[in-house]
Structure formats: C-alpha cells, structure tokens
Amino acid sequence: MLGLLAGVVVNFLIWPNSYLGQTKISFQLRSQVRKHVEEALRRPIKIKLEGKEFETTYSNLGISMSVDRTLAPLEKAGFGQRVGMWLSALTTPTLIQPILVFDPAFEDRINGRIYPVEINERVSFDKDKLAFTYISDGRAKRIDIDDFRRRLITTFGQTGLVIEPTIINLRSEIEKKAEEGNSLIDKTLARPIEIILKKEGGDVTISLQRRDLFGLLDGANELTMPIYLRVDKGRLASILFKKAGFAMPVAYAANQIENEILARQTTNSSSPVVLGEDDGPNSDGTEAEKYIEVDVSQQKMFLFENGNLLKSFRVSTGLYYPTPSGKYKIINKSTLGYSGIFDVFMPYWMAFSYAKDLGAYLGIHELPYKLSGGEKFYRFGNYIGQKKTGGCIALAPGDSREVYDFSFPNMDVLIYN
C-alpha cells in the first residue's frame, strides 16, 4: 500500500522545491499547474516607463505560452527518473522555465502601442558655420526588446511585480543624415576653391579657404544628397570686387562656384573656376518662367527658361541713342518690321519700349538692311558685338529667328548696362 501511494505521489504530484518562473508549484497536480499558467496569462502586467505606471496583458502584447512544452520536463520523465528527481529536489530547487511565444509583431506593439515616441525634429543650415544643425524637442527612444523578453520570462506568474524595461536612446534618421551631410561638406570644402579672374593686364587668382566661405554659402533645410549649396550673390559681388577691383556678372560667377562644389561631391575632383569680365548674365533665371536678359556692357543676350540659362548670343546695342536699362516686356512681334527713321527693314521684330523723345519704338530684331537692286544691303556690315544701333538690340541673321521663336507678347526683357 505504501508503495502504491508513493507511486501516485511520484507520478502525479510536482516534486518538492519546484518553481515555474518565480512561482512555487511544489506538490501540485499537473492539472493545477496548467490552471495556474492559464490564470497567470490572464493576469495584468504592470509596466513602469520613465516614472509612469500602466497595465496591459500578455494577449495585448501578442504573448502566449506553450503549456505543453513548458511542462514537458515534468511529464516525459519515467518513473525511475521521477523518483530520482524527488530525492534530488529535497536539497536542490528545480526551476522550470516558462516557454513564452511572442507574436512576430511583438516589437512593433511594444514600441508603437506601449511606448510611442513622437518628436518634432528638423534641420537648419548655419551659413556662418557651414554646417547642418539638428533640432528636436526630444530624443527618439525604444524599449530594449531582448531585455524586456527576459524580464517577462523570469518573472512570469509573480504577483504585485512592476516591470521597468530598459530604455535605449536612438539617433533618428534625420539626425544621422545631418551628420552625414556635415561630413560631406567638410570633405568638399577641405580644399580651397580657386577662382581665376581673366582680365586685360593679367589674370587675378583668388583662393577661397573654408573661413572665406563662412556667410557666403547657404544650404537647404531639407537634406538631399548631394548637398546643393547656394552662393550669396551680394556677398560674392563684394568679395570679387574687393579682390579683383572690378565688377562682374555675379549670377554667372555664383553658378560656376555652385557647380564646382557640386562636382566635388559627385566626382571627388576639383578644378579652378575661370571667370572673365564679360562672362555670364546678371540674373539667375528666377525672374520669370521664361525671359530675355541683355547686358549692354558685354553686348550679350541670354535666354532663360525654368531657371536655366538656355543660350547666349552676341548683340549690338545703341550708339546714337543708348539702349535703356530696366525691365520691359515684349509689346508686339512681326516677322518683318520697318524703320521710317532709318528707312531699313528689320526682320523678326520684337518691340519692348516706346521712346517718346524719338517718337519711335525700340525693339529686338535682326541686323537691319536696305534693298538695292533686289539685294539686301547692310549699312554698316556685320557689326554684332559693337555698340552701333539707334537704341534697338540687333542680332545676327539666324540668331534673330531663334530669339523670335522663343519670345511671346508680354515676355519680360531685362536690360543691364
């Protein structure tokens, strides 16, 4: 009888000194242990995050338990093994590890539902330091998932316990990108920007070190790779005039410097920026979607569309009556105009202003001509590139047709002297 009773005890009761997680289960029936596990899975979990406590459940976190696998060490042992375990348990505790099953979305649930982190962040470009500054109203954080899993497993079933997960501070993608951008700027500007100003009497070379670029370059507050750094045209004009002693078309110079900075990022090569006294337009392509610029000092015309310089042409402007500077608009167009003052035909006529003192319109047109014996006769020959007109802007044959096709009534015409 005693042997039979001992067999029942050994086969159906949990041996002494046994724990499931933190809960003592000694001398319980295996059915009682299963019930205990089911109750523990329904019990609320208290969590403390940065001083604030709240409750959730295992199911809300996507956690279940494999009861069969957890109790397998108790149920698969043979009678002889169980007798040995009973005897061993009298002096040594038996710890049964709960086998928790975590849903694949467990980590997202933890860091999205339990610990959502919403921060406002942005970057700004400091032109005086030539660097992006990361600005936020907090730090991105997340729970250490591996540590949290261990705590849930080792404290399973324990009542009155508050779990305080480990918090990990994160660097956001925007912060990482700002650091990456600063590294790229440092690399790009490690070598000075060499500018060669070509002028009569000898070239002038300017070397812009990084310190010279403070306040000259500006960047967007949205990071893109490569980084598009813009040149402050007013400051550049001052630097070039101070270094070279003459004014230059600063929009073109700025564009060339910007292109050099961009090339250094994308090709890892550098070359001098070569500028001349008569190089480039005065505007930067932002005056209108499409417009015409004329620089009287250079005797050049520039066509702009969508912020890009499409083409430039040599022109002839006023000698007998100076071509006026200012902002005008195309008033009218005609494939063939006629001047009663000079008795000449003007192909591809585009009027842009009315000169009251002349009592006539000024316009853009092809070199004017007279007809003699059915042949075209150019009064002064081909004088494109020289001041020779009576106030109009003359183009070479072929160029005039291209500008005529590009223009439309009410298009902006900017004239600089």
365 shares a domain with 300: yes
**Token output for 237:** 């004009």
Confidence of residue 151 (pLDDT cuts 50, 70, 90): confident
151 shares a domain with 33: yes
Is there a domain that residue 373 lies in? yes
293 shares a domain with 274: no
Model confidence at 20: pLDDT above 90: no
Cα atoms found within 13 Å of the Cα of residue 127, Cβ hemisphere only? 14
Cα atoms found within 13 Å of the Cα of residue 4, Cβ hemisphere only? 1
Is there a domain that residue 237 lies in? yes
**Token output for 31:** 């059915």
pLDDT 10s digits, 213-244: 998 998 877 788 888 898 988 888 888 777 77
Q: Residue 393's domain is classified under what CATH number?
A: 2.40.440.10
User: Which helix (H) or strand (E) element contains residue 179?
Assistant: helix 173-188
Q: Report the mean per-residue pLDDT for the chain.
A: 83
For 136, list phi and psi in degrees, rounded to 5.
Answer: -150, 160
Distance CA 170, CA 111 (A): 12
Strand partners, 413: 292, 328
Spell out the alpha helix ranges (H) of 100-141: 106-109
Is there a domain that residue 164 lies in? yes
Task: Work out the percent of the chain whose per-residue pLDDT is above 90.
Answer: 29
Distance CA 239, CA 224 (A): 28
Residues 235-264: what's their mean pLDDT? 80
DSSP 8-state symbol, 14: P
User: In angstroms, how far is CA 32 from the centroid of its own chain?
Assistant: 61
Of 176-180, 281-285, 337-341, give the range with the top mean pLDDT: 176-180
Is there a domain that residue 132 lies in? no
Residue 214 lies in domain: 189-280
Q: How many CB atoms lie within 10 A of CB 166?
A: 11
Closest by CA to 327, choosing from 301, 356, 293, is 293
303 shares a domain with 232: no
**Token output for 182:** 């600063």
User: Considering 260, 280, 300, which residue would you say is the last residue of a domain?
Assistant: 280
User: Considering 280, 298, 325, which residue would you say is the last residue of a domain?
Assistant: 280
Distance CA 255, CA 231 (A): 8
User: Considering 280, 315, 339, which residue would you say is the last residue of a domain?
Assistant: 280
Strand partners, 96: 20
For 148, list phi and psi in degrees, rounded to 5.
Answer: -65, -40
205 shares a domain with 163: no
151 shares a domain with 290: no
Confidence of residue 279 (pLDDT cuts 50, 70, 90): low
Is there a domain that residue 174 lies in? no
Q: Which amino acid is at 200?
A: E
Can you tell me whether residue 296 is helix, strand or coil?
A: coil
156 shares a domain with 55: yes
Count of domains in the chain?
3
354 shares a domain with 208: no
pLDDT of residue 2: 39
Distance CA 233, CA 214 (A): 13
20 shares a domain with 165: yes
210 shares a domain with 287: no
Is there a domain that residue 58 lies in? yes
pLDDT 10s digits, 192-221: 999 888 777 778 888 889 988 998 998 877
153 shares a domain with 16: yes
43 shares a domain with 19: yes
